Structure 1
Amino acid sequence: MSTLLIVHHTPSPHCQEMFEAVLSGATDPEIEGVEIVRRAALVVTPTDMLSADGYILGTPANLGYMSGALKHAFDTCYYQILDSTRGRPYGLYLHGNQGTEGAEKAIDAITTGLGWTRAAETVVVSGAPDSDAREACWELGATVAAGLMS
């Protein structure tokens, strides 16, 4: 069985709505043989990262950058997972009211350094998630999870 780790920071109702849509897609009944593990960015450990076969990252863009919580997750885990997680797939969803480019660029730099492979297009939502945004989040979760099916 493969493991998909969702590392998220959900400080707002909008981020929570996106997280729930991603989770719903990842746990679609048609996706078999994939265990979904959820960890808040402030508590994820290197062991969690090493145990996963793929990742979905979720964060608000605060002042144009990823949340401090997701940055903390990378700071805590980066060197311990650097050589062991290369080639693993990941997806990303971001919520921001303005200026999400810096957050996306920073996460791209970190995941490139880790050698991770983008498995789906990044979902970026500004303001309240509408039905299209929720569907994009669902698709993100389903796509990354389905890619891990054995």
Structure 2
Amino acid sequence: MQLYKIPESVLVVIYTPALDVLLLERADKQGFWQSVTGSKDTLEENLLVTASREVHEETGIDTDKFTLSDWQLVNVYEIYPVWRHRYAPGVTKNTEHVFGLRVSRDVPITLAPREHLQYEWLPWRDAADRCFSASNAEAILQLPKLT
């Protein structure tokens, strides 16, 4: 069992053909909205597997029924101090790989209650404005160019 989180993660922007974006409110930080995110479970875990697993765990969406794409965007950022205790001592940066998942607007969403309080579909610009994470907002702003 992994003692600390691996500082390599995925960010999955879930969106509709009309470019509405699914945002989730964090359970551990009310008012913090984001796309699906999560770290690799093992060093060997493939990033596409990580993205698919995290989407299913956080929303209940089966990525095999839709198009999950590696956007070939990578962000390296400072881990927020409030979450650093989850990582090995001295780890302060995380490498995030960005994916997109195009779904139908009526896809059922089942939140993981320990992770998220609620969800909302927003037009892409509004979704970018709502995100607390700069890298998440920037990924959403890339949506029209990447789809």
Question: What TM-score does the superposition give when structure 1 sets the normalisation length?
Answer: 0.30
- From the two aligned structures, give the one with the greater strand fraction: 2
Question: What TM-score does the superposition give when structure 2 sets the normalisation length?
Answer: 0.30
